[in-house]
Structure 1
Amino acid sequence: MSNINPPAAWLKTESEAVRRPVGRAIAVESAGGVLLIAQAAVLAHVANGVIFGEAALADVMPWLGGFLLLIGARAVLAYAAERARFTAAATIKTALRERLLQRIEALGVVWQRGMASGDLVETLTEGVEKLEAYYGRYLSQTAVAVLLPVAILAVITPIDWLSALVLLTTAPLIPVFMIFIGKGAETLNQRQWRRLGLLSGHFLDALQGLTTLRIFNLGAREARLIERLSDDYRRSTMAVLRIAFLSSLVLEFLATVSIALVAVLIGFRLMWGQLGFEAGFLVLLLAPEFYLPLRNMGSVYHARMEAVAAAERMVEILDAPTLAWRGTRLDVFTPAPPRVTLNELSYTYPGNDEPALADIDLAIAPGETVAVVGASGAGKSTLALTLLGLIQADRGTIRINDVPLTDIAINVWREQLAWVAQQPRLFHGSVRDNLRLGDPAADDTALWAALERAQAREFVAALPQGLDTSIGERGLRLSGGQAQRLAIARAFVRNARFVVVDEISAHLDTDNERRLVTALKSLAHGRTMVLIAHRLASVAHADRIIVMDGGRIVEQGTHDELLDRNGIYARLAAGAQDLAA
């Protein structure tokens, strides 16, 4: 966690974004407090007139009418205050989720791989929701807890200075005890939130790996582990609730005793004739309202502690260093495929001593298809991530049409990209929804054309609802080959000038491999392509093959040239289809 921007200070800084709706809520609630005082004064006057002044119904009717109008006005103001609070909370939640998502994207895949997915999801969902009460109630209630008691005290003091003195003396005890108790609860809230993140992350991992757990007969062990984590979370939650209930009990006790003391003093002075009924009744009506905002602070202060605990993780995300990509160039691309040049490119993953890429020099001509092969761990996938701009090299440059990649506006660069992974990411939704990730404006004619070129039209047409068929999360209702062909179709829909394909033909049967090789040949036409492959068949159509070993390019040439050299490529290709053996 950043020491420069701790969660409590960060929450206050973020409140600038909702200053107007919070200010409206404070103003409206304060106006409602003024009407409350007026309402109490009218009620005290009417009661005094009826009981002691023998006022007739006709005499008090105007006062009763005013009393009803005040009730209606307070209801309208309460509605307006609630709307302002809702606006403040909704505004900050929407803006914060957008910022967090943008930040997570900017942090890159290396940072993301080091984080628990469940913890991040919990932060973006439940964590952001925890801020609602802080921005929707705590900020406005803090101001009202000062303004309304001061206004009531200003009314009571000229009428009954003794009751005002009691109120003034006892009121500070409530926030003092609240802060004293809350200090311990803040630590418990942070511990509770961390345990919830741990539970969420582990539960998500268990769901994603459910098949593996069943195969290894580890379901019972995993259930016991989740039970233990759940029990830890339950215990931490109960500890927080005990503190919350204790603070509420203390606040209620102080307020009740103080009101009772005021009532006793008023009763004695009424009996002794030292105080008039109307004045005494007004003070008695206002005394509970004097303490009400202070008592409400107990619940909203607990909301503040929850917000601080949730904000701790958000501050870590927002303070983490991002990839230094601040390019602004927009004029780099033409309708022709781009030229890609790598100069002395090197990258080492954080925490590793050995470089994943070391002094890579590579020039890819416009429209050329370059296949990258090598043993597992040779640096192929790291090279792909670097070309995509998902990680930035420690040293060296990537140039697109002779312009450094980091000088190009990131959105412009990504508009020119298509990415097909070995395990393509397909989202829960229809075939149409997944294809339109490439181009949201694509019509069905364009989608079917892309499916045809990707050798996927046949199986999509056979689906129960065609393009409208739901494929399930991660494409679970499709075979591996079908999912990969759908990813190629999405790349066609994208109509990008530069395509990176990562090990698309690994783990496939002969028919699927043949279809995919045909689709890749079609995809490569008129585009610059980098194909990271495992199998011999998938590199046969490449214009050039480069061989990587230990993060370096050790060989390059055509298939026949590399076989004649009898080097690493020849050994990889000898007698088998697997180039990563």
Structure 2
Amino acid sequence: MRPLDPRLLRQARAARLYVGLTTGLGVATTALLVVQSLLLAHIVAGVATDGLSFTDVRPQVVGLGIVLALRAVLAGVQERFGHRAATAVVRQLRERLIGHAVRTPEAAGADLALLATRGLDALDGYLTRYLPQLLLASTLTPAVLVVVGWEDRLAGLTILLTLPLIPFFMALIGMATQDASDRSLLSLQRLGTQVLDLIAGLPTLRALGTAGAQRERVRAAGDAHRRATMKTLRTAFLSALALEILVTLSVALVAVGIGLRLVHGTLDLQTGLAVLLLAPEVYAPLRAVGTQFHASQDGLAAAQQAFDVLERPVAGRGTTPAPDLTRATLLFDGVTVQHPGVPVATPGNLTASVRPGEVVALTGPSGCGKSSAVAVLLGLREPTSGAVRLPGSLKLADVEPESWWNQIAWCPQHPVIVPGTLDENVRLLCPSATDAQVARAAAVTGLEDVVRTVPGGWHSRVGQGGTGLSAGQRQRLALTRLLLSEAPLVVLDEPTAHLDAGSEQAVLALLRELRSRGRTVVMVAHRPALVAAADRTIDVSGNVSPGLETGSQMGVPA
């Protein structure tokens, strides 16, 4: 990524305002710095050579104090608005990443989640420290160099010859550390992915007695990230030392030249002092850019990945309002999903209908594409070929997503449980539900038995992902939430997976209640009891069993 990538200005509106503000402050700082150096040189030279008293130089001293106060104010403004702008830029990029993930759910995953959180947080150092110094280097350095050359041509020529050495060595160091920064971010993403996967599967691993075996994998990933981070820090410290030595030697050359000419009387003290005060300021922004460059590399690497994600093409969103699903028949018309690296499409050429008010079970062996078919129905995945057709010759791809999702209640294999109380979680899909409605729904799914056993009842708090509840209790909570929802289409992805017989009975009770209310239910089912509870069964693998409705028996919905 370039030091100031134009994509940052395009993707984050706050970055444009911040760059404009920082550039203006840099110009003002440059002017004040030049005035400060000239005033100080005039005061010292007047007192030392002309014998001026404090009364004689009082106006210059007052002016110097005003300049110093203004520089302090500008530094405070830069610091204050720098952190605010950094927060706004990161927030806008995070929102765009999340919005992109919503439009392309197949691209979402642990890597994207880590990039949108810890990865983009590293941009703070780039925006608050590196970018201001970069803009100062583009304004202050050339302006001060012109002033130095105007005051003393020889000193200006010396600085002009030594100045390119700093960006040259910065480029060499940057090329050497770019790969290290990329590896550091990659190791962090790998560690985050492994930890997230481990946490998600920890109950199963503990049940199988293999949780301890994952300890070495996590430790190895953590050690790899630690080594990559320490290598980046080591390079940053060494490069900062190299730049300090280079700047010190460059300023020393200017100082030696000034000193020799002062001794021989070919240069006056006021000019010599002004040049000596200004010379380090020519190098300072470039030196700071080199020092802060490494601190910003993690943020730059994360921004590069974020821009790569945001620039991926996104399928167009429909604008036609979704039909009323209480009366609409849905048709899988030759739906095929081809997964990367898998030679066989799953599902392949799925043709099946879902009529309003019926309970339909999607069956077939594991890996035949049942969950993929559900993802296509939900509008979370684009099929490779085929389409989900709706009444009125509509395709699902032509429908406005929000109007579609507002009519669907979905329960994945691992229900979403947010931190909060049981009562807050159960009302997520229907905040206006009354206590009586909640109680009736909990009685159907058996959640009322769970509420009686936990301390605090409905006010008992659960953690992220349902921490504090067993798998069966989380499932009962999710089923109760579905029952409270008014959505006409209910989608269940293996609702009895990893559940005991008691929790399975809760699912069957939910199906009976939904059928009595005229809701349409599409569920992925493996267990015989769940398949038997369905009105119709669709074999996603294409194997037709007796009594099953197949694509050849179905017509396009009216």
Q: TM-score range by the shorter chain?
A: 0.7 to 0.9
The CA deviation string for residues 513-546 of structure 1, in whole angstroms up to 9 with x for no partner, is: 333322222233132111333334435554x221
Alignment of 1:95 onto 2:88: no
Partners of 1:339 and 1:219 in 2: CA distance: 46
**Which residue in 2 is equivalent to 1:571?**
none
**Which residue in 2 is equivalent to 1:251?**
243
Partners of 1:395 and 1:303 in 2: CA distance: 47
Deviation at 1:419, TM superposition (A): 1.0
Show the 5 A alignment for 1:64-143.
64-109=61-106, 111-112=107-108, 117=110, 119-143=111-135
Q: 2:512 aligns with which of 517, 521, 536?
A: 521
8 Å CA contact 2:364–2:541 kept in 1: the answer is: no
Deviation at 1:83, TM superposition (A): 3.2
**Which residue in 2 is equivalent to 1:492?**
483
Q: 2:269 aligns with which of 261, 277, 282?
A: 277
Partners of 2:235 and 2:475 in 1: CA distance: 54
Partners of 1:211 and 1:484 in 2: CA distance: 14
* Cα distance, 1:287–1:508 mapped onto 2, change above 3 Å: closer
8 Å CA contact 2:37–2:277 kept in 1: the answer is: yes
SS in structure 2 at match of 1:501: strand
Paired residue type of 2:234: R
Show the 5 A alignment for 1:478-557.
478-524=469-515, 525-542=517-534, 544-548=535-539, 550-552=541-543, 554-556=545-547
% of aligned pairs identical?
35
Deviation at 1:176, TM superposition (A): 1.2
**Which residue in 2 is equivalent to 1:19?**
16
The CA deviation string for residues 377-400 of structure 1, in whole angstroms up to 9 with x for no partner, is: 454333322222222323322123
**Which residue in 1 is equivalent to 2:408?**
417
8 Å CA contact 1:339–1:364 kept in 2: the answer is: yes
Paired residue type of 2:68: I
* Cα distance, 1:94–1:553 mapped onto 2, change above 3 Å: farther
Alignment of 1:149 onto 2:141: yes
The CA deviation string for residues 454-479 of structure 1, in whole angstroms up to 9 with x for no partner, is: 44234335532333322233224223
**Which residue in 1 is equivalent to 2:158?**
166
8 Å CA contact 1:419–1:500 kept in 2: the answer is: yes
8 Å CA contact 2:418–2:464 kept in 1: the answer is: yes
Paired residue type of 2:482: A
Alignment of 1:29 onto 2:26: yes
Q: 1:474 aligns with which of 460, 465, 474?
A: 465
Deviation at 1:349, TM superposition (A): 2.7
With normalisation by structure 1, the TM-score equals 0.84
Q: 1:193 aligns with which of 177, 180, 185?
A: 185
**Which residue in 1 is equivalent to 2:555?**
none
Show the 5 A alignment for 1:226-245.
226-245=218-237
Partners of 2:446 and 2:204 in 1: CA distance: 32
Partners of 1:91 and 1:148 in 2: CA distance: 27
8 Å CA contact 1:50–1:56 kept in 2: the answer is: yes
5+ residue gaps, structure 2, are 550-558
Greater alpha carbon shift after TM alignment, 441-450 vs 338-347: 441-450
**Which residue in 2 is equivalent to 1:329?**
320
Deviation at 1:314, TM superposition (A): 2.8
8 Å CA contact 1:386–1:393 kept in 2: the answer is: yes
8 Å CA contact 1:373–1:545 kept in 2: the answer is: no
With normalisation by structure 2, the TM-score equals 0.88
Alignment RMSD: 3.0
SS in structure 2 at match of 1:279: helix
Alignment of 1:344 onto 2:334: yes
Deviation at 1:203, TM superposition (A): 3.6
Deviation at 1:81, TM superposition (A): 1.9
Partners of 1:102 and 1:343 in 2: CA distance: 28
Deviation at 1:128, TM superposition (A): 0.8
SS in structure 2 at match of 1:358: coil
* Cα distance, 1:9–1:529 mapped onto 2, change above 3 Å: farther
Partners of 1:231 and 1:44 in 2: CA distance: 54
Greater alpha carbon shift after TM alignment, 453-462 vs 159-168: 453-462
8 Å CA contact 2:232–2:294 kept in 1: the answer is: no
**Which residue in 1 is equivalent to 2:44?**
47
Deviation at 1:168, TM superposition (A): 1.6
Deviation at 1:500, TM superposition (A): 1.1
Paired residue type of 1:397: A
8 Å CA contact 1:107–1:321 kept in 2: the answer is: no
Partners of 2:293 and 2:55 in 1: CA distance: 47
Paired residue type of 2:317: R
SS in structure 2 at match of 1:255: helix
SS in structure 1 at match of 2:362: strand
5+ residue gaps, structure 1, are 1-6, 559-581
Q: Number of matched residues? A: 544
**Which residue in 2 is equivalent to 1:364?**
354
8 Å CA contact 1:255–1:295 kept in 2: the answer is: yes
* Cα distance, 1:506–1:55 mapped onto 2, change above 3 Å: closer
Deviation at 1:289, TM superposition (A): 1.4
8 Å CA contact 1:85–1:136 kept in 2: the answer is: yes
**Which residue in 2 is equivalent to 1:353?**
343
Partners of 2:146 and 2:500 in 1: CA distance: 85
The CA deviation string for residues 59-112 of structure 1, in whole angstroms up to 9 with x for no partner, is: 333322222211111111112222343343222211111122222333334x44
